[in-house]
Structures are given as structure tokens and as C-alpha cells.
């Protein structure tokens, strides 16, 4: 058991290292470097050479990778040449904002998704299921920027209940952030609920058809106990991994949602960083997102391992 | 042709399948013939810019530059559909091949391919997509290659899992003991048996790619103006939404109906083939 956990940790670390190499190489392969992007029209001759030697861009790539990786280990993300600031200062509060956004959506969405999924499974192919599943397909497929725009025009412009776009400084206090994010959170939640609900529904349907549920009902267990105590926990087990993957996948959606609502988070920052070719910043954000993905995955793996005794005897499931 | 017939009857068996498939066919046909159907040039501007609401001449009104919204919406899906369809084929080909190889060969090959996949799964592909486009431009070929690469990763996992179910079957063993070559086994024994799974997944991935493509053009990275494109149209007209709703609503309806259509078709297909789609991992 301990060995299995250690193995998972080791794999996660190796993956993280490999991702850092891939990210570094990918940015390295792009034509132009940070100094050219910084100097723009003036990027030639002595000025370019000076800038490169100042930021040590004239060193060979492996040396720079080692220096970058060394800094990362010590918690130093490096320096943005373009913005002339430490990256940690730029990313810090925006990362916090994105986490607030994502967490609120998750806290709101996951219980709702489990509830709806269970209901849909219990009333399979009946009115309730058809409605829930139908709306889920709709929420899942309509792009976030359309949902977001529609929400803004209904609640922001038409009814005037909520601010349409977020106008705040990146380092605003948490309470102010929370009061601003109702619409972005709803947008994210809709997509998330739809995805997770469908998984819970399927997994619940499979469990409800299994022998032990039949056994329980033959034994005369009340329906609510059968569902809440026996079926639901077992149905959620396979869903945990998928939920973690989903949340990580939704990070792509966060990017669009943040742009739509003008939200000062890491997604919008990355779009800006790409638009003005701030390679160091892009690298740092990409690595940050990758590490979130890896740790969520690891977390889900460990939780399933702890909750499901059947997995413990096997070797890793790949 | 028999199998195509089976697939079609499967989709058409349910109401949502019929609806979805007709949506998709409508959009694909429209994309093929729209250049001959549109009432105006996509970039011709009307002199009556101040009259932007729907009228007899312009059924869906004009956008802020005085261009006919109906014309642009009819043309707006062509590039998106072409790019994402080709990218889906690319993703299916390389992802399916790698996955089947990993599942069939096992051992070293499997280990190498799957660890590589783990790494690329962890990379935030939206940022990468933006980065590639920002650097190499939004040429359709670049888009097809990057979308095809990143969305092929999911196919690898799926094809591998499906192959693992098939390789243990007796008919594969029989083919092996008959002394058939690897490629003969891959194409004649394994591929026909994982085809259904890959087909449903292709439909899903096509819709996700459409989502990604339209998100890219919404962010201003997808297509270059004045080329009409749904995502771009929504992005540029949504600022004036309170004043003029049609320039936003029409491309929204077009894009959403296509994606919903694909999903309903995929769902109906999965149901009729007895595959369960909703437990599939997203990426």
C-alpha cells in the first residue's frame, strides 16, 4: 500500500519534470526570443546583444534550463523581461483569483451534479431524467463564451441585477472578489455540472443494476437507505478520477470565461502574455497549470486508493 | 455498405438522433453550397449603416460595419467545419494507430507511449494552441496540425483500452497461430472491433474541436478578419448586443445548433452500438 502511494508520487514528480522540459523546449523552438519581443523595432545590433547578455540569454539552452529549474525548485519563478518584474509578483494575486473562481464553481457544482446525476439515474428514461439529461447536453455543448454573453445580457443589461463584467484590481480583497464573481461562477458551474452529472448518472445506473443492490432490495431495505448508503458511495468511486480530470480540463474553459467577464485571473493573463510574447510568463503559467493538473490527478488517485479496497492489491492501473 | 446502413438505422432509431443528424447534415451541406446561396458579398458594406435592424433587404440586419449578418452567418462555419473535420481525421489516424499499437504490442512500446501521453495530457493545451498560433500565424494548416495533435492524445488512451479488450479474444489468438503478420492482425482482426468506439469518440472530439476553434476565434486568434467566422462575429458584435441582438444571436444559434447536433448524433450512435459514452474520460 505504502509502496503504491510512493510509486504514484514518483510518477507525478517525473511527469512534472518531463512537462517542464517539454514546455521549455517548446518555447525555445519558437522563433524570436524574449529580448527581441521586449525591444520590438529596436531589436538589432548592440542593443540586442546588451539585453541578451544582461538577461543571460546568450548562454546555451541547457544551461538556461538548469538555471530556470534550479530557481523553480527554490520557489523562484524567474523574471519577466517584458514586464520588468518578478513573475511571482505578476502571477500571485491573479492565480489566487482563478483559484477562488474555480473553487467556488467546484463547491457549488459538484454536490449539485451528484444530486442531479443520482436523480436522473433513479428515474432513468422518465420525465425527470429526460429533462435533466437534455439540459445537461445543452449546457455541455454550448460554448462558454456564448453562455457567458447570454448571462451578461440577461442579468447584467436586461434585468440589471448583477454587474455584467468584473471591474476590479487583481489584488482586491477576497470579499470584493467574491461579490464580483456570481456570473462567471454560474457560467463555469453550468458546464461542470453537466459533465459530472452525466458521469454520475451512468455509474449510478451500472451500480443500481448490480447484485448487491438487488440483494438489498430483496432483503427489504428502505429505498432511501439503499440509495444513500449502498448505491451512491459505490457509484461515486469511479467518478472521483473523472471529476478530477474534468476540473483540470475545465481550466481551458476558465481561460475563455475570464476573458468574457474581464476577470483578472491567470487565464486572461496567459492570453495577454501570449499576445505580447512574454515567453517567461507563458512558461511559468503553463507549468503552474500542469502542476495543478498533476496534483489533482494524484489526489484523485490516492482518494480512490484509500476508499476502494479492491484496488489496493493490484499493481498500478496505468 | 451494410455496416453504414446499420449505423444509420441506429442513429435514426431515436428522435434525438434524427434531430441531431439532420442538424449536422444541414450545416455541412450549407457549408458546401453557401457561397452560391448568399444574398450579398461577405465584405460588402451597405450605405445605410444607421439602419441595423432586420429589414426586407437584410433579413437579419447589418453588423456595425454595415455588412449583411445573414450572409456572414451562412459563410461563418465553413472554415471552422473544414479545419476541425480534417483535424479530427488526423487525430483519429495518429491517435488510433498509436493506441492500437500500444494495446497490441504491450510491454516496452506500451509503457513508452503511455508515459508520453501522460506528459502531454498535463500540458494546458489551450495555452499551447494560442502560443503556436501567435508564433506561426493562424494558417489553417497550422490549426489542423496542432488541433489534430492535441486531440489525438485522447484517442490513444481510448484505442489502447479498446484494444486490450480485443487482443485476449480467441480470434486474435487464432490469427496469430495461423501465422498472420502484425499488420494483417491489426487491420483485419483488431481494427474492425475497436471501430465503433473510435467512431463515437471521433464525433465527440469533432464537437470539442469546434468548441476550441470557436473559442480561439473568439479570443481573436482563430481567423483573420474580414473572413466571416462565428466565434469572431460573436466576439466583435457582443459589445453592441443591447443595441443590436441579431449580429450576436444568429452566429450563436448557428454554432450551438451544430455542436448540439453532433452531440445528439454521437449519443444516439453510442446508445445503438451499446457503448456508454458518458463515463469516457474527457481528454
Question: What are the pLDDT digits (tens) for A161-182?
Answer: 777 777 777 677 777 777 778 8
Q: Which residue has the cell 489516424?
A: B93
Mean pLDDT of all residues belonging to chain B? 83
Torsion (CA) A273, B64, B53, B34 in degrees, nearest 10: -80
Mean pLDDT, residues A47-76: 72
Would you tell me how many other CB atoms lie within 10 Å of the CB of residue B182? 11
pLDDT band at B92 (very low <50, low <70, confident <90, very high): very high
Mean pLDDT, residues A74-84: 71
Q: Which residues of chain B make contact with A275, given a CB cutoff of 8 A?
A: 134
- Is there a domain that residue A30 lies in? no
B4 touches chain A (CB under 8 A): no
Q: Which residues of chain B make contact with A285, given a CB cutoff of 8 A?
A: 124, 127
Do B164 and B99 touch, CB atoms closer than 8 A? no
Is 90 exceeded by the pLDDT of residue B183? no
CA distance linking residue B213 with residue B25, whole number of Å: 20
Given this model, what pLDDT does residue B90 score?
A: 95
Mean pLDDT, residues B52-71: 73
Is 90 exceeded by the pLDDT of residue B89? yes
Do A267 and A254 touch, CB atoms closer than 8 A? yes
CA distance linking residue B258 with residue B84, whole number of Å: 13
pLDDT band at B148 (very low <50, low <70, confident <90, very high): very high
Domain extent for B232: 2-279
Count of the separate structural domains present in chain A: 1
CA distance linking residue A194 with residue B225, whole number of Å: 34
Within its chain, how far is the Cα of A173 from the centroid? 22
Question: Cβ A143–B218 below 8 Å, yes or no?
Answer: yes
Q: State the CATH number of the domain containing residue B124.
A: 1.10.3720.10
Share of chain A above pLDDT 90, in %: 1
Picking from A23, A137, A256, the nearest residue to B263 by CB comes out as A137
Report which listed range, A127-136, A294-303, B227-236, B257-266, is most confident. B257-266
Is 70 exceeded by the pLDDT of residue A315? no
Torsion (CA) B33, B234, B283, A29 in degrees, nearest 10: 90
CA distance linking residue A207 with residue A85, whole number of Å: 54
pLDDT band at B206 (very low <50, low <70, confident <90, very high): very high
Comparing A162 with B80, the larger pLDDT belongs to B80
pLDDT band at A311 (very low <50, low <70, confident <90, very high): low
What are B10-25's pLDDT values in tens digits? 888 888 889 989 999 9
Question: Cβ A293–B121 below 8 Å, yes or no?
Answer: yes
Is 90 exceeded by the pLDDT of residue B38? no
Is 70 exceeded by the pLDDT of residue A56? no
pLDDT band at B271 (very low <50, low <70, confident <90, very high): confident
Mean pLDDT of all residues belonging to chain A? 80
Do B229 and B76 touch, CB atoms closer than 8 A? yes
What are A102-137's pLDDT values in tens digits? 888 888 988 999 999 888 888 887 888 888 888 888
What is Dmax (Cα atoms) for chain B? 77
Mean pLDDT, residues B132-150: 86
- Is there a domain that residue A263 lies in? yes
Is 80 exceeded by the pLDDT of residue A269? yes
Do A288 and A91 touch, CB atoms closer than 8 A? yes
Comparing A12 with A39, the larger pLDDT belongs to A12
Is 80 exceeded by the pLDDT of residue A16? yes
- Is there a domain that residue A37 lies in? no
Given this model, what pLDDT does residue B1 score?
A: 42
Comparing A225 with B217, the larger pLDDT belongs to B217
Q: Which residues of chain A make contact with B255, given a CB cutoff of 8 A?
A: 143, 146
Is 90 exceeded by the pLDDT of residue B62? no
- Is there a domain that residue A132 lies in? yes
- Taking the whole predicted model, whether its pTM rises above 0.90 is answered as no
A31 touches chain B (CB under 8 A): yes
Within its chain, how far is the Cα of A120 from the centroid? 26
Tell me if residue B142 falls in helix, strand or coil.
helix
Mean pLDDT, residues A269-287: 83
pLDDT band at B87 (very low <50, low <70, confident <90, very high): very high
Do A311 and A317 touch, CB atoms closer than 8 A? yes
Share of chain B above pLDDT 70, in %: 92
Mean pLDDT, residues B161-181: 84
Mean pLDDT, residues B173-182: 84
Question: Cβ A275–B118 below 8 Å, yes or no?
Answer: no
Is 80 exceeded by the pLDDT of residue B101? yes
A79-80 and A85-86 as β-strands: parallel, antiparallel, unpaired?
antiparallel
Picking from A146, A238, A290, the nearest residue to B256 by CB comes out as A146
Do B231 and B217 touch, CB atoms closer than 8 A? yes
pLDDT band at B51 (very low <50, low <70, confident <90, very high): low
pLDDT band at A316 (very low <50, low <70, confident <90, very high): very low
Q: State the CATH number of the domain containing residue A157.
A: 1.10.3720.10
Is 80 exceeded by the pLDDT of residue B130? yes
Given this model, what pLDDT does residue B88 score?
A: 94
Gap from A220 CA to chain B (nearest CA, Å):
31
Q: How many CA atoms lie within 13 A of A1 on its CB side?
A: 10
Count of the separate structural domains present in chain B: 1
Domain extent for A166: 96-277
Is 90 exceeded by the pLDDT of residue B93? yes
Mean pLDDT, residues A249-270: 82
Amino acid at each position: 500500500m505504502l509502496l503504491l502511494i510512493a510509486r504514484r508520487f514518483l510518477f507525478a514528480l517525473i511527469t512534472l519534470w518531463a512537462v517542464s522540459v517539454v514546455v521549455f523546449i517548446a518555447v525555445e523552438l519558437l522563433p524570436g526570443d524574449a529580448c527581441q519581443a521586449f525591444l520590438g523595432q529596436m531589436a538589432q545590433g548592440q542593443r540586442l546583444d546588451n539585453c541578451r547578455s544582461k538577461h543571460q540569454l546568450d548562454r546555451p539552452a541547457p544551461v538556461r534550463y538548469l538555471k530556470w529549474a534550479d530557481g523553480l525548485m527554490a520557489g523562484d519563478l524567474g523574471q519577466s523581461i517584458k514586464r520588468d518584474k518578478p513573475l511571482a509578483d505578476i502571477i500571485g494575486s491573479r492565480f489566487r483569483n482563478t483559484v477562488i473562481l474555480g473553487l467556488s464553481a467546484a463547491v457549488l457544482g459538484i454536490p449539485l451534479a451528484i444530486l442531479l446525476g443520482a436523480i436522473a439515474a433513479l428515474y432513468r428514461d422518465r420525465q425527470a431524467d429526460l429533462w435533466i439529461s437534455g439540459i445537461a447536453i445543452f449546457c455541455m455543448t454550448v460554448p462558454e463564451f456564448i453562455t457567458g454573453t447570454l448571462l451578461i445580457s440577461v442579468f447584467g443589461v436586461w434585468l440589471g441585477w448583477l454587474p455584467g463584467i468584473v471591474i476590479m484590481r487583481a489584488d482586491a480583497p477576497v470579499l470584493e472578489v467574491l461579490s464580483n464573481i456570481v456570473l462567471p461562477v454560474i457560467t463555469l458551474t453550468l458546464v461542470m455540472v453537466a459533465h459530472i452529472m452525466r458521469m454520475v448518472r451512468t455509474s449510478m445506473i451500472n451500480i443500481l443494476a448490480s447484485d448487491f443492490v438487488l440483494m438489498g432490495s430483496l432483503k427489504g431495505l428502505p429505498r432511501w437507505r439503499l440509495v444513500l448508503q449502498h448505491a451512491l458511495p459505490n457509484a461515486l468511486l469511479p467518478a472521483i478520477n473523472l471529476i478530477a480530470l474534468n476540473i483540470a480540463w475545465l481550466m481551458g474553459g476558465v481561460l475563455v470565461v475570464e476573458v468574457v467577464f474581464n476577470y483578472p485571473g491567470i487565464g486572461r493573463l496567459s492570453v495577454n502574455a501570449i499576445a505580447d510574447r512574454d515567453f517567461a510568463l507563458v512558461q511559468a503559467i503553463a507549468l503552474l497549470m500542469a502542476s495543478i493538473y498533476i496534483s489533482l490527478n494524484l489526489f484523485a488517485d490516492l482518494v480512490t486508493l484509500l476508499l476502494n479496497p479492491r484496488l489496493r492489491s493490484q499493481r498500478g492501473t496505468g | 455498405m451494410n455496416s453504414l446502413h446499420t449505423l444509420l438505422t441506429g442513429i435514426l432509431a431515436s428522435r434525438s438522433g434524427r434531430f441531431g443528424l439532420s442538424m449536422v447534415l444541414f450545416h455541412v451541406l450549407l457549408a458546401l453550397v453557401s457561397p452560391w446561396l448568399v444574398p450579398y458579398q461577405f465584405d460588402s458594406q451597405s450605405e445605410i449603416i444607421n439602419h441595423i435592424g432586420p429589414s426586407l433587404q437584410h433579413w437579419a440586419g447589418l453588423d456595425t460595419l454595415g455588412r449583411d449578418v445573414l450572409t456572414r452567418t451562412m459563410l461563418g462555419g465553413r472554415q471552422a467545419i473544414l479545419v476541425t473535420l480534417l483535424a479530427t481525421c488526423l487525430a483519429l489516424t495518429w491517435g488510433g494507430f498509436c493506441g492500437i499499437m500500444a494495446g497490441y504490442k504491450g510491454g516496452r512500446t506500451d509503457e513508452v507511449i503511455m508515459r508520453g501521453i501522460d506528459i502531454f495530457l498535463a500540458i494546458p493545451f489551450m495555452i499551447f494552441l494560442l502560443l503556436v498560433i501567435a508564433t506561426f500565424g493562424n494558417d489553417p494548416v497550422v490549426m489542423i496540425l496542432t488541433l489534430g495533435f492535441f486531440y489525438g492524445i485522447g484517442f490513444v488512451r481510448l484505442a489502447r483500452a479498446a484494444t486490450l479488450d480485443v487482443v485476449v479474444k480467441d480470434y486474435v489468438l487464432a490469427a496469430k497461430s495461423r501465422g498472420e503478420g502484425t499488420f494483417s492482425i491489426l487491420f483485419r482482426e483488431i481494427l474492425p472491433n475497436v471501430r465503433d468506439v473510435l467512431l463515437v469518440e471521433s464525433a465527440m472530439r469533432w464537437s470539442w474541436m469546434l468548441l476550441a476553434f470557436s473559442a480561439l476565434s473568439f479570443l481573436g486568434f482563430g481567423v483573420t478578419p474580414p473572413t466571416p467566422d462565428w466565434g469572431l462575429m460573436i466576439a466583435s458584435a457582443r459589445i453592441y448586443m443591447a443595441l443590436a441582438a441579431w449580429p450576436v444571436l444568429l452566429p450563436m444559434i448557428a454554432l450551438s445548433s451544430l455542436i448540439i447536433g453532433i452531440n445528439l448524433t454521437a449519443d444516439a450512435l453510442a446508445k445503438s452500438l451499446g457503448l456508454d459514452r458518458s463515463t469516457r474520460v474527457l481528454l
